C-alpha cells in the first residue's frame, strides 16, 4: 500500500480537510465519513467542522483508495512520528492476536507488525489464505432444494406453479427436488467475501485474489446479509470453514458500497479500546494464572429487578480469596479515583464478597496508589488504582511479565504465584 493513500492517526486525534499533514483526505472522503457517522448514530467518531474527531474506537476505515488507520496510544509522546505510529500499530496488532481477533499461527509477537502496512491487510491475507486452503482441501458438497422444470417427475410436484408455467408445455413437470453439489450458502458467502476484496486489496494480493475468484467463476452471486450467517450450522464436514466464514462475515457486514454518488466503497474494521484492553488483560491473566487460582470474565449476575451487575474480571483462589479488577483504557494523572468508580468497586467488593478490588489503567509514569479501606459497617473492603506498562523495548510487553505484575499488585499469595 502506498503512503500516498495511507493516513495514520491516533485515538482522539482530529482529521480535517485542508490539513497539510493529510493532503490525501478529500471532501468526498469527508462526505462518506459523515454519512457513515449518521448511519451509526455517531458511535465511532464525532463530525466536527470540515473534519472528524476520533474517540476510543481504533482500527481501520477504507474509503475507495484511501486507508485511514486509527491507532491506540498510552504515552506522553506527542511527536506523531513514524516510529511512534509503527510502535503502536504493533501494539494493536498483537492485542488483536492475543484476543483471537487475528489468528496468524506462524507469526510471533515481535515480528507481526513488520509484515503489513495496514491492519486491514492482515485480515485480507488471512481470508485469502483460508479460502485457498479450503480449495486445496477440496470444496465440500451439500444438499440444497431447488425448483425447476423437468421432463420427468422428480421430487415433489408443485401443482399451482406447474399450471402457471406449463399450461402450454404439458410435457414438463415443475418440481421441487434436492441437488447435491458445491453451490450452497457457504460458498456463496466465500464468493461474496472475495468480491468485496476485489476493489480493496493492494497490488501484491491482487493476483492471488483473481486466482481464487476463478475457482468460483460459475457460481451464482447473491446478496449476503446478517440473516444468511444466522442460517449457518457447521458440522464435522464443514468445520474447516469456520475461520473463513468468520472473516467473511466481518468483511461483508462492515462493507458499505457506494456511500457517495461515486465509487467510494467503504470498509470499516473498528474496535473499542476499552473492551479490547479488558479482554486482553483477562486473557493474559487466565493464560498465566498461578496454581490454585481461577480467572473469570464478565460474570453477570442479578442486581436489582431486571438490572444486572458485571465486573470485568474476578479472580478466585482455592482458599476462597476473591479479587475484582475493573479495567480502564485511559490516562489518568491523579491517584485518587472518582466517587462513581469507588462506589462501583465497593458494590463489586460487597456483591462478590471480595476483600480487594483494583481499577487497572495503562501506565505512563504513574505509580500505584495504596489500598484504601472502605468505611462501612465494620467491613474491611479495599480498593486501589493500579497502573501496568503496555510497552517494553518499543513493542508490546511480554504477556507473562504483565500478568505477573498485575497479580503482584493484588498481593496474591507468593507461595502460589510462580514467577
pLDDT at 110 (0 to 100): 40
Confidence of residue 145 (pLDDT cuts 50, 70, 90): confident
pLDDT at 112 (0 to 100): 46
Q: Average the pLDDT over 19-44 and give the result.
A: 92
- Residue 158 predicted with pLDDT over 80: no
H-run or E-run covering 284 = helix 273-287
> For the chain, what percent of residues have pLDDT higher than 70?
92
Structure-model confidence comparison of residues 202 and 39, the more confident one: 39
What are the boundaries of each domain within the chain? 3-138+186-272, 142-181, 288-409
- In DSSP terms, 322 is beta-bridged to 316
pLDDT at 108 (0 to 100): 40
- Residue 106 predicted with pLDDT over 70: no
Confidence of residue 4 (pLDDT cuts 50, 70, 90): low
- In DSSP terms, 301 is beta-bridged to 309
C-alpha cell of residue 55: 474517540
- Residue 202 predicted with pLDDT over 70: yes
Mean pLDDT value across the chain: 86
- Residue 107 predicted with pLDDT over 70: no
- In DSSP terms, 150 is beta-bridged to 173
Cβ(404)–Cβ(389) under 8 Å? no
CA distance 241 to 105: 17
Neighbours of 364 (CB within 10 A): 16
Q: What are 306-359's pLDDT values in tens digits? A: 888 888 999 999 888 999 999 999 988 777 788 999 999 999 999 898 989 999
Q: What are 367-381's pLDDT values in tens digits? A: 999 999 998 777 788
Q: What are 271-308's pLDDT values in tens digits? A: 999 999 999 999 999 999 999 999 999 877 778 888 88
**Strand runs (DSSP E) across 105-260, as ranges?**
142-150, 156-157, 173-181, 255-256
C-alpha cell of residue 170: 404439458
- In DSSP terms, 51 is beta-bridged to 16, 48
Q: What are 159-191's pLDDT values in tens digits? A: 788 878 888 788 788 888 788 889 899 999 999
pLDDT at 220 (0 to 100): 87
CA distance 335 to 84: 27
Rg (CA), the chain: 27
pLDDT at 258 (0 to 100): 60
Among 97-111, 212-226, 252-266, 371-385, the minimum mean pLDDT is found in 97-111
Amino acid at each position: 500500500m502506498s503512503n500516498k493513500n495511507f493516513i495514520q492517526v491516533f485515538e482522539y486525534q482530529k482529521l480535517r480537510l485542508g490539513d497539510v499533514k493529510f493532503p490525501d483526505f478529500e471532501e468526498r472522503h469527508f462526505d462518506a465519513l459523515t454519512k457513515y457517522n449518521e448511519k451509526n448514530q455517531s458511535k465511532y467518531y464525532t463530525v466536527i467542522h470540515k473534519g472528524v474527531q476520533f474517540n476510543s474506537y481504533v482500527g481501520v476505515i477504507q474509503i475507495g483508495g484511501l486507508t485511514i488507520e486509527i491507532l491506540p496510544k498510552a504515552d506522553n509522546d506527542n511527536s506523531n512520528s513514524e516510529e511512534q505510529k509503527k510502535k503502536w500499530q504493533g501494539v494493536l496488532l498483537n492485542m488483536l492476536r492475543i484476543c483471537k481477533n487475528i489468528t496468524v499461527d506462524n507469526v510471533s509477537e515481535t515480528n507481526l507488525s513488520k509484515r503489513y502496512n495496514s491492519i486491514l491487510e492482515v485480515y485480507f491475507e488471512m481470508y485469502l489464505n483460508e479460502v485457498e486452503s479450503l480449495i486445496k482441501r477440496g470444496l465440500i458438497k451439500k444438499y440444497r432444494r431447488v425448483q425447476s422444470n423437468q421432463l420427468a417427475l422428480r421430487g415433489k410436484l408443485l401443482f399451482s406453479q406447474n399450471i402457471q408455467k406449463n399450461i402450454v408445455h404439458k410435457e414438463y413437470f415443475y418440481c421441487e427436488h434436492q441437488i447435491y453439489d458445491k453451490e450452497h450458502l457457504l460458498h456463496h458467502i466465500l464468493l461474496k467475501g472475495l468480491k468485496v476484496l476485489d476493489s480493496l486489496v493492494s497490488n501484491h494480493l491482487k493476483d492471488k485474489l483473481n486466482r481464487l475468484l476463478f475457482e468460483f467463476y460459475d457460481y451464482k452471486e447473491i446478496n449476503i446479509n446478517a440473516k444468511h450467517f444466522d442460517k449457518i450450522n457447521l458440522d464435522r464436514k464443514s468445520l474447516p470453514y469456520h475461520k473463513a466464514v468468520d472473516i467473511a462475515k466481518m468483511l461483508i457486514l462492515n462493507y458499505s458500497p457506494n456511500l457517495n454518488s461515486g465509487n467510494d466503497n467503504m470498509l470499516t474494521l473498528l474496535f473499542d479500546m476499552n473492551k479490547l484492553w479488558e479482554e486482553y488483560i483477562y486473557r493474559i491473566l487466565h493464560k498465566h494464572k498461578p496454581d490454585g487460582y481461577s480467572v473469570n470474565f464478565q460474570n453477570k449476575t442479578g442486581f436489582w429487578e431486571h438490572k444486572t451487575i458485571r465486573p470485568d474480571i474476578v479472580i478466585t483462589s482455592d482458599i476462597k480469596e476473591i479479587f475484582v479488577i475493573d479495567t480502564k483504557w485511559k490516562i489518568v494523572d491523579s491517584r485518587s479515583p472518582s466517587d462513581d468508580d469507588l462506589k462501583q468497586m465497593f458494590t463489586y467488593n460487597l456483591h462478590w464478597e471480595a476483600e480487594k478490588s483494583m481499577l487497572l489503567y495503562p501506565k505512563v509514569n504513574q505509580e500505584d496508589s495504596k489500598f484504601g479501606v472502605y468505611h462501612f459497617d465494620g467491613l474491611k473492603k479495599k480498593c486501589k488504582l493500579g497502573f501496568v506498562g503496555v510497552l517494553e523495548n518499543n513493542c508490546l510487553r511480554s504477556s507473562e511479565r504483565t500478568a505477573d505484575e498485575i497479580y503482584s499488585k493484588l498481593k496474591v499469595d507468593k507461595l502460589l504465584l510462580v514467577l
